[in-house]
């Protein structure tokens, strides 16, 4: 039988620092649970044997907050992808080879991996809102420098691209932290799916905008566009974005310092301040690199990073390969070609979010039925206990669809390379790019959601570690992809990349099998440290 009587003792050690809200005045509320017949309704005494809701924000307000975070998160991939169609023009203007201009992509990706380790850790300690705004302001200022950089200063182009990445790259990690603050595991998949729309809009529209601007107004207009857009986004966050860090605002009902409050509080106006402040103590500094010592986390990062690197190996070469294979394409046409992979990612993030929630509910329902036995429906408290139990197979609930995603992704990558090698109709590689984007984002959203599930109180830090690994693996591949293409040819290059994904696919099953054991060991070590 699945144990359901350990609500207090089974709290994950990684949740340290998240508060337990003070009991409210006992009132009867109706709480949905999942039983034999699906979702049922039971009555429990609020404030007696049940906990307050995880977040004081209403479902509608949560969606608003996630949308604000998703808009800010557009700028990480937008800033990277808007640059791709202009690479041939920039190489000509700076009188450098395409390989040297590709190094500006590499430096961007290196900083894209490193910067969130700093910003994400700051946000876990000092708040989401001010770090969001600081990142966007830094991005806006760096874009001014890039728009004005002289073509004789290649080194300055490299430097400013690194600073640009330092500002833009952390917005995805910060958004993941926001979702960890306001969403329960049962909601998290759907919110991650919605949040993923923002970062996926960047790859969809970035190359189109970049190609059109580079051809119509010159490559410098790309950076003026980014400067204006990121500046407007920072203003929007200052006006509307509430603080969500639980160490500052608890479940959202505690008034934060003035700096952390939105100028126009459209979210949370209905929330009444508690009679007693139950804000938890500020967490001590936790070295984010310590996360890289957790075996389940490291395995997920390596697998996800490999898939991401192969994805970058497709997108970073699209401009040059399509220009060589289909010489009738101009810069705007090449930008439009990116709509295929971007559209696949956009639809994939919606699909994967719904699938993540469905898989989670399916596993939870199995455990509820097992715990029920011959008894009547479990109370909401019992269902919460099942979800919080350290032995809850969250890895199985999240990773069930990843083998299918990986198989389709690998096959499409291999087919894509041979289509370009054979110079078939442009429609075929574009269709394959659509499925590459669809399955890539399925893997990425799943692993990102699981990482936040494993370490919910370090949502931004673990997302930053994910960025560190995937961006650096991607940067390494982008820096050598042209050498591989020259040595092997287009077809065999993508056979190699797809084959690496297939070889590493057994890693999917390692966290499913041993992840709950490793999580339990971490919890026991943390409890031992607390008692000493």
Please, which residues have CB within 8 angstroms of residue 269's CB and are 6 or more apart in sequence? Answer: none
Whether the pLDDT of residue 43 is over 80: the answer is no
Mean pLDDT of the chain: 78
Whether the pLDDT of residue 481 is over 90: the answer is no
Greater confidence (426 vs 333) lies with 426
From 138-142, 172-176, 281-285, 497-501, the region with the lowest mean pLDDT = 281-285
| % of the chain residues with pLDDT over 90 | 19
Whether the pLDDT of residue 220 is over 60: the answer is yes
User: Among all chains, which residue has been given the structure tokens 């389940």?
Assistant: 296
SS3 476: helix
pLDDT in tens, 368-386: 777 666 455 555 545 555 5
pLDDT level of residue 418 (50, 70, 90 thresholds)? very high
CATH of domain 59-269+288-531: 1.20.1250.20
The domain spans of the chain are 59-269+288-531
CA dihedral 422, 426, 432, 438 (to 10 degrees): 150
pLDDT level of residue 127 (50, 70, 90 thresholds)? confident
| % of the chain residues with pLDDT over 70 | 78
Greater confidence (305 vs 275) lies with 305
Displacement of CA 463 from its chain's centroid (Å): 7
> 66 is written with which tokens?
């996630």
> Could you give the CA distance from residue 488 to residue 30 in angstroms, rounded to a whole number?
63
Please, which residues have CB within 8 angstroms of residue 92's CB and are 6 or more apart in sequence? Answer: none
pLDDT of residue 25: 38
> Could you give the CA distance from residue 287 to residue 23 in angstroms, rounded to a whole number?
33
Whether the pLDDT of residue 99 is over 80: the answer is no
pLDDT of residue 177: 81
pLDDT in tens, 268-291: 666 665 545 555 555 555 666 778
Greater confidence (227 vs 80) lies with 227
> Could you give the CA distance from residue 40 to residue 311 in angstroms, rounded to a whole number?
43
pLDDT of residue 273: 59
Whether the pLDDT of residue 48 is over 50: the answer is no
Give the Å distances, CA to CA, from 285 to 72, 120, 288, 348, 461.
Answer: 26, 12, 9, 36, 11
Greater confidence (529 vs 378) lies with 529
pLDDT of residue 45: 37
> 163 is written with which tokens?
């600073």
β-strands 27-35, 38-46 pairing:
antiparallel
Angle at CA of residue 449, ends 444 and 451, nearest 5°: 95
Cβ–Cβ < 8 Å for 427, 143: no
pLDDT level of residue 217 (50, 70, 90 thresholds)? confident
Segment 2-31 mean pLDDT:
38
pLDDT in tens, 321-343: 888 888 888 777 877 888 888 88
Give the Å distances, CA to CA, from 99 to 11, 106, 195, 339, 447.
Answer: 51, 10, 34, 24, 32
For the chain, give me the number of helices (H) and strands (E)? Answer: 20, 2
Whether the pLDDT of residue 12 is over 60: the answer is no
> 428 is written with which tokens?
């075929």
pLDDT level of residue 210 (50, 70, 90 thresholds)? confident
> Could you give the CA distance from residue 172 to residue 193 in angstroms, rounded to a whole number?
13
From 211-215, 270-274, 317-321, 390-394, the region with the lowest mean pLDDT = 270-274
Segment 341-361 mean pLDDT:
81
pLDDT level of residue 247 (50, 70, 90 thresholds)? confident
> Could you give the CA distance from residue 243 to residue 254 in angstroms, rounded to a whole number?
10
pLDDT in tens, 159-196: 999 899 888 877 877 887 888 888 877 777 677 767 76
Whether the pLDDT of residue 36 is over 60: the answer is no
User: Residue by residue, what is the 3-state secondary structure of 95-138?
Assistant: CCCHHHHHHHHHHHHHHHHHHHHHHHHHHHHHCHHHHHHHHHHH
Angle at CA of residue 254, ends 248 and 258, nearest 5°: 70
Segment 493-503 mean pLDDT:
93
């Amino acid at each position: 039988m699945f144990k359901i009587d350990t609500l207090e003792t089974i709290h994950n050690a990684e949740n340290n620092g998240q508060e337990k809200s003070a009991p409210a005045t006992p009132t009867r509320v109706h709480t949905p649970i999942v039983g034999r017949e699906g979702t049922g309704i039971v009555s429990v005494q609020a404030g007696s044997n049940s906990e307050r809701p995880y977040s004081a924000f209403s479902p509608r307000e949560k969606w608003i907050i996630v949308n604000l975070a998703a808009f800010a998160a557009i700028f990480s991939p937008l800033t990277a992808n808007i640059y791709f169609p202009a690479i041939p023009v920039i190489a000509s203007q700076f009188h450098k080879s395409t390989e040297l201009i590709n190094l500006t992509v590499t430096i961007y990706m290196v900083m894209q991996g490193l910067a969130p380790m700093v910003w994400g850790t700051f946000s876990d300690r000092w708040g989401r809102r001010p770090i969001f705004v600081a990142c966007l302001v830094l991005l806006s200022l760096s874009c001014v420098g890039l728009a004005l950089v002289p073509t004789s200063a290649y080194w300055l182009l490299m430097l400013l691209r690194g600073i640009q990445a330092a500002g833009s790259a952390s917005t995805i990690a910060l958004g993941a932290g926001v979702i960890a603050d306001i969403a329960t595991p049962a909601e998290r998949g759907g919110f991650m799916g919605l949040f993923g729309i923002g970062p996926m809009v960047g790859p969809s529209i970035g190359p189109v905008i970049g190609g059109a601007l580079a051809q119509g107004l010159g490559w410098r207009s790309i950076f003026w566009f980014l400067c204006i857009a990121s500046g407007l986004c920072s203003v929007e966050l200052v006006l509307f974005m509430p603080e969500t860090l639980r160490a500052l605002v608890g479940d959202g009902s505690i008034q934060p310092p003035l700096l952390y409050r939105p100028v126009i509080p459209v979210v949370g106006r209905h929330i009444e301040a508690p009679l007693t402040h139950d804000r938890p103590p500020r967490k001590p500094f936790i070295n984010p690199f310590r996360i890289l010592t957790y075996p389940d986390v490291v395995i997920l990062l390596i697998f996800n990073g490999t898939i991401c690197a192969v994805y970058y190996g497709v997108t970073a070469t699209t401009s040059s390969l399509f220009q060589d294979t289909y010489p009738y394409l101009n810069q705007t046409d090449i930008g439009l070609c990116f709509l295929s992979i971007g559209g696949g990612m956009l639809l994939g993030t919606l699909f994967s979010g719904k699938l993540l929630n469905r898989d989670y509910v399916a596993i939870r329902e199995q455990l509820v039925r097992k715990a029920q036995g011959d008894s009547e429906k479990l109370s909401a408290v019992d269902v919460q206990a099942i979800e919080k139990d350290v032995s809850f197979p969250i890895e199985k609930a999240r990773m069930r669809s990843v083998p299918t995603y990986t198989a389709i992704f690998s096959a499409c990558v291999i087919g894509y390379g041979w289509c370009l090698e054979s110079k078939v109709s442009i429609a075929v590689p574009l269709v394959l790019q659509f499925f590459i984007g669809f399955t890539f984002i399925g893997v990425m959203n799943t692993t990102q959601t699981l990482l936040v599930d494993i370490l919910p109180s370090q949502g931004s830090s673990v997302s930053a570690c994910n960025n560190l690994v995937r961006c650096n693996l991607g940067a390494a591949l982008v820096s050598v992809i042209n050498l591989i293409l020259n040595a092997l040819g287009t077809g065999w290059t993508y056979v190699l990349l797809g084959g690496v994904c297939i070889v590493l696919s057994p890693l999917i099953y390692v966290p499913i099998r041993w992840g709950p054991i490793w999580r339990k060991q971490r919890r026991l070590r943390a409890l031992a440290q607390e008692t000493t």
